[in-house]
Structure 1
C-alpha cells in the first residue's frame, strides 16, 4: 500500500473515508443486559497499599480501581490507565503505552518498542463468553509537545485489553498496546464487530483516504480471542476512484463526453463485504466481497465498462485465503 503524500490543494478531497476519533463502537454483551453500577469502594480499597495519614490541608487520594462491576468503557479504561482516569472517566484519555517505531513505509521497526505517551480511545467492548471480554482501542502517539500525530500519512494503533470476571467483578488479565498499525490522519478507520455462525467474534476494519484527487479503501479482519487479537487478513483493496484527478474521467464516468480524452484509465469501483455460511461443509464462514462499478478500457476512444464480480475468501488454519475471483480494484 503506498504511503500517501499531502493532498493536492487544487483538488478537493473526494469520498475521504476517515472515522472520527472516539467513534461510538458496537458493544457486544452476548445477550446479557448491562447494569449501571459503580466500583465497589471496599474491594477497590483493599487492593491499595496503605497510605500515610493525610494532613488537614492535603486532599485524600482516590484509590486506584482494580475491578469493574460492569463492562462500561469508561470503567474498563480506568483499569487499564489508572493514573489518567477517575471513577467517572471519559472513553478517551492520555496514557502510557508500549509501541514500536514506524518507518517511512508504514512498517514496524523490529526491536524498537518503547514506552510512549499517547491519546487512547475505546472503540469496541466485546463480551466473548461468560468470563471473558476484550476492549479494542485506537491509540495515537503524542509528540514531545503533547500534540497527536495526526498528519495525513499518520495512522493509529489498534490496541487490545483482556478482562476476566471473578467473584468481585471484571479485572484486567492481559494487554497488547500494539496489535496493528493502520489508517490515516491519526485514525484507524471504521470498525465493526460481527459474530460468525460458529460463534467466533471478528472485527472488520475499513480505512482509506484521498490524495491528488484519487481515493481508496482497504479491508482487514481480526479474530477476537480470550487472550489475543490476531489478523485473519489485512489490506484487501476494497474501493478506488480517480474522478477527482481528471475532469475527463469525472465526465466519462457520469455518462458525459469530455472535451479532451482522459490522461489515463478512469475507474470508480467499490466492494461490499459480508460473512456467509461456507460451502465447504466445515462449518466456517466465508468472506465474500461483491464488487460493482465502472472503468474505461480498450484503445482509441475510451469506452466505459461495467464492473461486476465477487471474491470469495475461505478460512484455512485461522486465516482467510482467496479461493475464488480476482480483485478488480486498480492499484494507486
Structure 2
C-alpha cells in the first residue's frame, strides 16, 4: 500500500469558507496578550518556567523567534525547537479544559472541508497500520478531543475503541462512540495511569502540546502490545509555510504548541522511549495562506514534498525495548 504521497485537496478559499479559523487564532492571540501585555516576552515566574531542551536536556539553545510573548529556541545539540518560557502545567491544563480558544478549534474541525480532508487522511494511514499489525483489536486515541477520528474508526474498522483526553466534556462528546468504561478523563497526559494494553496508539496533533515528550512516549510504550504501533501527526517547524509566512504561520502558537520536532529530535526521543521509527510521512504541502506567495505553474508541490517541507510530519513508531 503506497502512502508516501500527501493527500491533496483544494484549500485556496478555506478561511472564507470557514471563518471560525480566523476567530480561533484571534482568540489565541488575545488570550496570550492577556499574559504578556502589549509586547515583549512573558517572564512572570508565577506563570511560566524557563526550561532547557526537553529532548536532550542541553542548555545550549538559541532564540529562533518570539510570538505573542512566547520565545521559541532551537537546541544546538539535537536541533529540537521548543518554547523556552512555557506556561506552568496548572495554567496550561486550565486553558485546555475551558478556554474559548479550544471551543473555537472544535468548531473549526467540524467544518465540512475538514471532515472530508481528515477522513481521507485517516483512511490512508489506518488501512496501512491495520495491514501491519498482527491483531489490531484495541485502539486508544490519546488527545481524542470531540472524537472525530474515533467516529471514523467505528464506521470503518472492527476495533475496540478507547478515548483519553483532559477535555472536561470528553465523556459527553464521545459516549456515542466509545463505551464509558473505555473513556479516560485525566488531569494531564503525562500522569495518565491506564492498566491496559493496546494494539494501536494514536496521537493526532498531540505531542507538540505536551511539556514532557519522553513521559508521553514512555506511557505509550507501557500501553502497547509487543507488536503494536504508535502513530503521531505533528507540525513541521521547517515547513515551506513557515519559510514564507514567518511568525504568521498558524502553527506558531505558544498558547498551544510548545514542542516542534525535527527528524533528528524525534529519532532521539523515540529511541530513548523504547521505539524505532518505522515510518515517516508528510501531509498538507500547501496551507491556504501560502497560495498568494507561490507560482502555481511551477512544480512547487513536488519540490516541497521532496525537501520535506510539508506542514505536517507523521511518524509510525514500533516498540523495541526500554
TM-score range (shorter-chain normalised) is under 0.3
Give the TM-score normalised by the residue count of structure 2.
0.22
Higher RCO (CA 8 Å, separation ≥ 6 residues): 2
Give the TM-score normalised by the residue count of structure 1.
0.21
Instruction: Considering fraction of residues, name the structure with more strand.
Output: 1
Instruction: Considering fraction of residues, name the structure with more helix.
Output: 2
Q: Which has the larger radius of gyration?
A: 1
